[in-house]
Structure formats: C-alpha cells, structure tokens
C-alpha cells in the first residue's frame, strides 16, 4: 500500500482549457506512486487556509515525474493556484484515496462515463487501458482492455479534453445545450449508443464513472439493469482529506469500522466505490 506523503510540486506549465478550467503540470515524485482515480491535496499559501484543496489526478508521467491536475476555479484556494507560474512551487499531500480497479478491466470492454470536472480523472484510466495507447501501467496490476468507449457530458461547446479522449477511445459527447454531440446528458448519449448497437446484449463488461451525484445514481441504475459491475468515483466536499474529520461521509450498505454506522469516508474509503455498495 502506498503511503501518503507531504511534499512540494514545482510548476512545469499551466494553461486554460475552458472557462474556469485549468490544466496544471507539476514536477513531483508523487507521479511515480499515484494510481488512476486517486487525488492529491494542494495547500494554499495563506496562514488562515490550513486545509488542502482536493484535486483529482488527470494523468501522471512516471518517467518525467510530472503530475497533471485539471481543476475548476471555485474559490480563493484554486484562484491562488491559477496564478502560479513555471518554476514556482505548491505544497501538496498524496496520493490520497483509492483508485479504479484497472486490473479488473484487462481484456474487457470498458465504458467510461464522465460529467463536468469528473471527466479529467477518467483520462488516466483511459490512457493506461486503451488498446490504441502506448502507455503501460508499471504497477503490475493491469493489461490492456479489449475496447474503451467514453461518454462525456458537458454544459456547452467547451468540451475540454474531448480531443484527447477521441485519440484513444470510441468517444461520444453530450452537451446540455445541444451545442456539441447529443443534446442532453451523457446518459442520453449512452442510450443512443445502445440503440446504434442493436443486437449487442451490453455496451460494456465493466463501467468506470466520475461526476455529480445525479449522474452517478443514473449510472448505478443502468449498470444494475445491464448486469455489469460499475465503479463510481464520488465528488464530495472534503476538509482534511485524510479521514479524520468525517466531513465527506457517504451512505453505504456496509458498516464503517471507524464510525460503526452505514457510512464511509470518501477521502479514504473512496473516492472510488463499487456501485452496489453506495446509497445515492
């Protein structure tokens, strides 16, 4: 088990992908340890901001030791991060949480479903599992999937990262305003895929999803109907990020040994859970 470490990351580059969406590359040894689905805590510099801001890992270049974080501007902390220039440093802790069980996807048809800022964390998984990609997972836990279909949902035509997903997956887009891809949600796009693939029993053998709770609830229901396993990465507001404060609990079918109730801590027990275990 990889132990979390507190360290610094040196900014390599930072660009804006869409309105309020930034792509930050950091040189840090954490890139060698992190797994798809995990996140890091990045600390603002102000003395009155003691808690780190949780940001999911979008990608990791293990050889160059570069971590890629794609995040949304939401407040003072992330606004501070957005001002960082190449060569400057950020204090951070990680890797945090668990990841997607990529070893279970080897040789299978994989379906990735992402919504909004839940899209970037899925790219790391796609880049390692895609038969079209050249990346290999060095942890000895995975092989290539037989195919990957990605269904990504956006608000509007600012479909950040879609071109990268298109390079290594069979991509379907959905936008709420109908400006790109299917008009509606990513689940609307998913049902359209099913109609196009008439005669096939299921679209995939395993599902990985990340996004807002209503989307994840729909994905869980879809997976149960299809009879395929699904793993959901929950988006919850976090405080400590290390399981001490119980600010990010979610309801589960199992009893948590820490609190002795049907709760789990998203920051340590998650953020990835089997769909059958969580109550949404």
Q: Tell me the C-alpha to C-alpha distance, in Å, between residue 269 and each of 215, 238, 256.
A: 21, 13, 9
Structural domain boundaries in the chain: 5-96, 102-235
SS3 at position 144: coil
Q: DSSP letters along 9-53, please?
A: EEEEEEEEEETTEEEEEEE-GGGGT--TT-EEEEE-SSTT--SPE
Contact (CB, 8 A) for 90 and 8: yes
Contact (CB, 8 A) for 189 and 147: no
5-96: CATH, from 1.20.200.10, 2.40.110.20, 3.40.50.880, 2.40.30.10: 2.40.30.10
Write down the pLDDT at residue 187.
Answer: 86
CA distance 202 to 224: 12
CA distance 32 to 52: 21
CA distance 151 to 162: 10
Write down the pLDDT at residue 13.
Answer: 98
Contact (CB, 8 A) for 189 and 162: no
pLDDT in tens, the chain (280 residues): 446 788 999 999 999 999 999 999 999 999 988 999 999 999 998 755 678 899 999 999 989 999 999 999 998 899 999 999 999 999 999 999 899 999 999 999 999 999 999 999 999 999 999 987 766 655 545 679 999 999 999 999 999 999 999 999 999 999 999 999 999 998 888 887 777 765 556 789 999 999 998 999 999 999 998 999 999 998 755 555 454 555 555 556 665 555 555 566 555 675 898 998 887 7
90 Cβ contact list (under 8 Å, min separation 6):
8, 9, 11, 26, 42, 43, 81, 84
Write down the pLDDT at residue 115.
Answer: 95
What CATH number has the domain spanning 102-235? 3.40.50.80
Pairing of strands 182-183, 249-251: unpaired
Write down the pLDDT at residue 41.
Answer: 92
Write down the pLDDT at residue 267.
Answer: 58
The values of phi and psi at residue 50, to 5°, are -80, -25
Predicted TM-score (pTM) above 0.85: yes
């Amino acid at each position: 088990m990889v132990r979390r470490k507190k360290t610094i990351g040196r900014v390599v580059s930072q660009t804006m992908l869409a309105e309020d969406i930034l792509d930050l590359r950091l040189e840090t040894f954490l890139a060698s340890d992190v797994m798809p689905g995990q996140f890091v805590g990045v600390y603002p510099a102000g003395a009155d901001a003691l808690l780190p801001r949780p940001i999911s890992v979008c990608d990791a270049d293990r050889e160059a030791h570069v971590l890629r974080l794609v995040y949304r501007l939401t407040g003072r902390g992330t606004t501070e991060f957005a001002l960082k220039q190449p060569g400057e440093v950020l204090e951070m802790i990680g890797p945090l949480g668990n990841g997607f069980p990529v070893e279970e996807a080897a040789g299978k048809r994989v379906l990735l479903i992402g919504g909004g800022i839940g899209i970037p964390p899925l790219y790391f998984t796609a880049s390692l599992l895609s038969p079209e990609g050249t990346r290999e997972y060095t942890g000895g836990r995975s092989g290539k999937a037989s195919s990957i279909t990605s269904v990504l949902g956006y608000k509007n035509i600012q479909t950040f990262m879609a071109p990268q997903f298109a390079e290594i997956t069979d991509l379907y887009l959905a936008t709420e305003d109908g400006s790109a891809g299917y008009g509606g949600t990513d689940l609307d796009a998913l049902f359209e895929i099913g109609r196009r693939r008439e005669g096939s029993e299921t679209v995939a053998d395993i599902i990985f999803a990340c996004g807002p709770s209503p989307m994840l609830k729909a994905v869980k229901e879809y997976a149960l109907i299809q009879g395929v396993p699904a793993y959901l990465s929950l988006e919850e507001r976090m405080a400590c990020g290390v399981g001490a404060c119980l600010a990010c609990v979610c309801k589960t079918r199992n009893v948590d040994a820490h609190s002795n109730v049907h709760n789990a801590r998203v920051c340590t027990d998650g953020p990835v859970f089997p769909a059958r275990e969580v109550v949404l």
